[in-house]
């Protein structure tokens, strides 16, 4: 009984204290960079691709072979210089590949659209498609390589030189993982064709139908697509990552297993470049079973996921509404009431205040770990609807959506700070158009902390305070916390009282037992004396 009560007491104590235990966000100095298998890697924010996030990089400026990640550059040049609907003739050179090459499946004399060939180059990593594209755009692969080096220099790749359009081994064809991060950031965000690039590299599957036969193409990026099960590998390891958006794999004997991966969460794009994942000859051999090879093949994908998870966790910051208001986040907005009384003290201008508690905690993605609260791009987009007198103090006259880095953060009602009387002249009041126009007398405002204005957001797409699905505001499933704490406290007090009473009863029983034993010894002594 004593042991049971002790265990129960300890369990209730843990339950009561658990809500107050804060799990700190992982920091850079606690991230185990030694867990990254590849010898050359870098993790960057796509907005600042030349600088590693929190210094997470290794041999980032050492010359390495890029293998098929070369095709990122081949692809973006083709997008910028070509026409996706152009038909491309496939030459004999384009299909002159032996075994061991990754191919789209073209044949000499085929004609496919440039769009189909780009998918064929980027998803299954078709070397044949790369040659056909280069010949179509520049006339030859050598001429295309010149375009590649020009583009590399233009976008800031300072330690790279390209010779081939597909990345097959050539000692004069080299780059660095930092340069490849710069290239990928350009292709994803800065190129005039970045939308088309994102669509291609993010596709899981595509069917090329513009040529003489349909070719089904599957992405080799296991962060997007699981490897199908087979007789030799019935249970392939899944590497799917929910925020993955591409980009490209690469694999040659000299380059090792390479990966350039990108992920996007809450408006923040991260890029991980991992090169050189090759085991030594003493560790790897062709006699490995498929399951052994699969555990080796997934290392680069798992490492990229680990880097993304760390960075996004590290960027996540909890900030109170009060802190944001102190640093300039607007909570009061003006709206003109067109049918207000002529003697209205404010000339028909009503102030509406956001219905927000200063203690409400918001979860914000802060890409720069050294940024201050005042540096956050918090934008306010108020929306007034059907605002006309009479209006009572506290009446809901609209809503305001706050965004951070373009991501909806929280939406709150706008409440009238005073009453407004209706004018004596009765006029027909039409609902206010939510978008500013020459016919709309009610202004739509946009305010922010440290950034440019953005278009008004649809409140239906924003996160409403108290109904957050991604950490913004106070989630409904946390409203029971005070009740749980109160119940836990009451149970804890009850257990403590029961435990004290139990100890007192135990002590009383021990004293009674001691008295009984003393009496028994006394009687035994008396009997002994009598017998003597």
pLDDT at residue number 326 = 85
pLDDT at residue number 470 = 40
pLDDT at residue number 249 = 97
Name the domain boundary from 464, 479, 494: 479
E-only strand ranges, 195-243: 205-208, 215-218
What span, in angstroms and rounded, lies between the C-alpha atoms of 150 and 152? Answer: 5
Name the domain boundary from 457, 479, 501: 479
Which residue range is the domain that position 443 belongs to?
Answer: 327-479
Show the tokens assigned to 212.
Answer: 């003489």
Compute mean pLDDT per 10 residues along the chain, 532 residues long, and list them.
52 43 36 88 95 94 97 98 97 92 96 98 97 97 98 97 96 98 98 97 97 96 93 91 96 94 93 86 64 88 96 87 86 88 86 89 79 77 84 88 82 90 61 46 41 35 36 41 68 81 81 77 66 58
pLDDT at residue number 299 = 94
pLDDT at residue number 481 = 56
Question: Quick check: 380 and 448 in contact, CB under 8 A?
Answer: yes
Choosing from 68, 113, 220, 399, the catalytic residue is: 68
Active site residue 81: no
Within this chain, do residues 201 and 101 fall inside the same structural domain, yes or no?
Answer: yes
What span, in angstroms and rounded, lies between the C-alpha atoms of 153 and 216? Answer: 35
Instruction: Residue 417: give its domain's CATH number.
Output: 2.60.410.10
Within this chain, do residues 311 and 422 fall inside the same structural domain, yes or no?
Answer: no
Choosing from 125, 160, 191, 399, the catalytic residue is: 125
pLDDT at residue number 451 = 35
522 within a domain of the structure (yes/no): no
Active site residue 345: no
What span, in angstroms and rounded, lies between the C-alpha atoms of 446 and 455? Answer: 8
Residue 85 burial (CB < 10 Å; 0-12/13-18/19+)? exposed
Within this chain, do residues 398 and 283 fall inside the same structural domain, yes or no?
Answer: no
Active site residue 522: no
Helix intervals (H) in 336-465: none
Name the domain boundary from 315, 344, 360: 315
pLDDT at residue number 284 = 56
Nearest 10 degrees: Cα torsion 27, 28, 32, 34: 180
Instruction: Residue 38: give its domain's CATH number.
Output: 3.40.710.10
Within this chain, do residues 287 and 363 fall inside the same structural domain, yes or no?
Answer: no
Choosing from 71, 151, 193, 257, the catalytic residue is: 71
Element (H, E) at 292: helix 290-297
Burial 223-246 (b: 16+ CB within 10 A, else e): bbbebeeeeeeeebeebebebbbb
Edge to edge, the sheet with strand 268-275 lists 52-58, 40-45, 268-275, 256-265, 244-252
DSSP type of residue 39: S
């Amino acid at each position: 009984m004593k042991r049971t009560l002790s265990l129960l007491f300890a369990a209730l104590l843990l339950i009561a204290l658990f809500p107050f235990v804060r799990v700190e966000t992982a920091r850079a100095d606690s991230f185990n960079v030694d867990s990254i298998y590849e010898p050359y890697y870098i993790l960057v924010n796509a907005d600042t691709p030349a600088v590693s996030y929190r210094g997470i990089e290794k041999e980032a400026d050492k010359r390495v072979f890029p293998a098929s990640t070369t095709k990122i550059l081949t692809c973006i040049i083709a997008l910028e210089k070509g026409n996706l609907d152009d038909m491309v003739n496939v030459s004999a050179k384009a299909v002159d590949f032996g075994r061991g090459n990754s191919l789209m499946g073209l044949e000499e004399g085929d004609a496919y659209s440039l769009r189909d060939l780009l998918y064929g180059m980027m998803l299954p990593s078709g070397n044949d498609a790369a040659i056909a594209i280069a010949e179509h755009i520049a006339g030859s692969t050598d001429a295309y390589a010149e375009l590649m080096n020009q583009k590399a220099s233009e976008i800031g790749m300072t330690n790279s030189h390209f010779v081939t359009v597909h990345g097959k081994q050539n000692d004069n064809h080299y780059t660095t993982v930092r340069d490849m991060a710069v290239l990928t950031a350009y292709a994803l965000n800065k190129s005039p064709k970045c939308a088309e690039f994102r669509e291609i590299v993010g596709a899981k599957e595509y069917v090329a139908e513009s040529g003489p036969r349909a070719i089904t193409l599957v992405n080799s990026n296991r962060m997007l697509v699981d490897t199908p099960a087979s007789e030799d590998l019935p249970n392939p390891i899944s590497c799917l990552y929910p925020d993955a958006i591409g980009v490209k794999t690469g694999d040659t004997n000299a380059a090792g297993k390479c990966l350039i991966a990108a992920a996007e969460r809450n408006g923040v794009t991260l890029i991980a470049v991992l090169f050189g994942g090759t085991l030594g000859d003493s560790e790897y051999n062709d006699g490995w079973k498929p399951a052994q090879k699969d555990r080796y093949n997934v290392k680069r994908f798992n490492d990229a996921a680990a880097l993304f998870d760390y960075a996004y966790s590290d960027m996540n910051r909890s900030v109170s509404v009060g802190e944001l208001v102190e640093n300039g986040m607007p909570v009061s907005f003006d709206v003109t009431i067109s049918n207000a009384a002529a003697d209205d003290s404010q000339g028909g201008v009503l102030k509406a205040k956001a219905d927000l508690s200063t203690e409400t905690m918001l979860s914000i993605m802060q890409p720069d770990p050294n940024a201050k609260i005042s540096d956050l791009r918090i934008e306010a987009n108020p929306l007034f609807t059907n605002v006309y007198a009479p209006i009572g103090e506290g009446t809901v006259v609209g809503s305001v959506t706050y965004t951070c880095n373009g991501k909806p953060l929280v939406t709150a009602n706008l409440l009238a700070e005073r009453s407004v009387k209706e004018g004596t002249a009765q006029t027909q009041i039409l609902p206010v158009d939510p978008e500013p126009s020459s016919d709309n007398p009610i202004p739509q405002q946009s305010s922010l902390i440290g950034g440019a204005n953005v278009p008004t957001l649809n409140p239906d797409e924003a996160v409403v305070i108290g109904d957050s699905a991604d950490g913004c505001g106070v989630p409904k499933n946390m409203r029971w916390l005070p009740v749980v704490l109160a119940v836990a406290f009451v149970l804890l007090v009850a257990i403590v009282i029961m435990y004290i009473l139990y100890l007192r009863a135990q002590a009383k029983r021990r004293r009674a037992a001691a008295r009984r034993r003393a009496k028994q010894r006394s009687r035994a002594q008396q009997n002994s004396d009598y017998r003597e």
